[in-house]
Amino acid sequence: MIKTALIGHPLGHSLSGVIHNAAFKALGLDGKYELLDVKPEKLSETIDFLKKEGYSGFNVTIPYKVEVAKYLHLQDYLVEYAGCTNCVRINAKGEMFGYNTDIYGFTTAIPENIRKNLEGKKALIIGNGGAARAVAAALVMMKLSVIDFKVRSLEKASAVSDFMKMKFKNTTCSFAENLEKISDYAIIVNATPLGTTGENANKMPIASSLLEQADKSAVIYDLVYNPAETKYIKTAKEMGLYTIGGLDMLVYQAQKAFKIFTTKEPDFNVMKEAALKYL
């Protein structure tokens, strides 16, 4: 049996198991994908367990996308580039290889003609965690000239600030706890959990009064995928703005991770339909 998993904390609303298990079934593979809610003090122990029990690999989500690097034997260039890992393959020797499939997922979910129109323009990322790093790396690769961050705490954002200065010296960026205007951004990305089903469901990463200032050609992107349409996305749609929800990104990155784990190419539509059915 091919054994794979997702590790993170908390995992209450993850769709990864639904998506990956649908791919196993569609391809006729004897495999399973598990959700492992791992508390910080159990991370090292859990990784040892995955290696000893013969898991082919695992995905990584909040809050371990940066920390997991210390357990890796090798990592691909996108992990180096983004400073975070969301996918790990384990070989027969128990050696671990890190990948970042979030960059691929984030980028592929944006239609090519829109990606081209973003070149040389300004972006706003809301958040400063591992997901925000992957988004920043993707936007640099898409040749945006300015990447700004809206964060809750400048002190807590210091790690991302240092990362941007070290990795992307030619990209202008700034960090702010409060925003006064957003009209000059071509893309605004929510990389926080705000809007996720549960206690954060009715929360928005920025106030609707501020969102009203967005340029009418701006892309409003939400990494949150559960619900499929967050309050942030609904509000932006009502304002006539172009929106991208987190579900396509999730499925694209899962598709790439599944191939890393199994060497088999799963069907995007099968995975997405399973997610939508669950939602």
What's the CA dihedral at 75, 157, 108, 257 to 10 degrees?
A: 40
In the sheet with 96-99, reading across from the earlier edge strand, the strands are 31-37, 2-8, 57-60, 87-90, 96-99, 74-75
Listing DSSP states for 133-185 in one string gives: HHHHHHHHHTT-SEEEEE-S-TTTTHHHHHHHHHH-TTSEEEEESS-S--TT-
Q: Would you tell me how many other CB atoms lie within 10 Å of the CB of residue 27? A: 15
Q: How far is CA 259 from CA 27, 101, 130, 145, 186, in A?
A: 12, 11, 22, 33, 33
- Helix (H) / strand (E) element for 123: namely strand 122-126
Single out the residue of 40, 32, 29, 36 nearest to residue 4, CA to CA. Answer: 32
Q: How far is Cα 86 from Cα 243, in angstroms, rounded to an integer?
A: 24
The DSSP H or E segment spanning 2 is strand 2-8
Q: Coil, strand or helix: which one is 103?
A: helix
Catalogue the active-site residues. Answer: 65
Q: Are strands 96-99 and 146-150 parallel, antiparallel or unpaired?
A: unpaired
The CA distance from 247 to 34, in Å, is 19
Distance in angstroms (rounded) separating the CA atoms of residues 57 and 251? 17
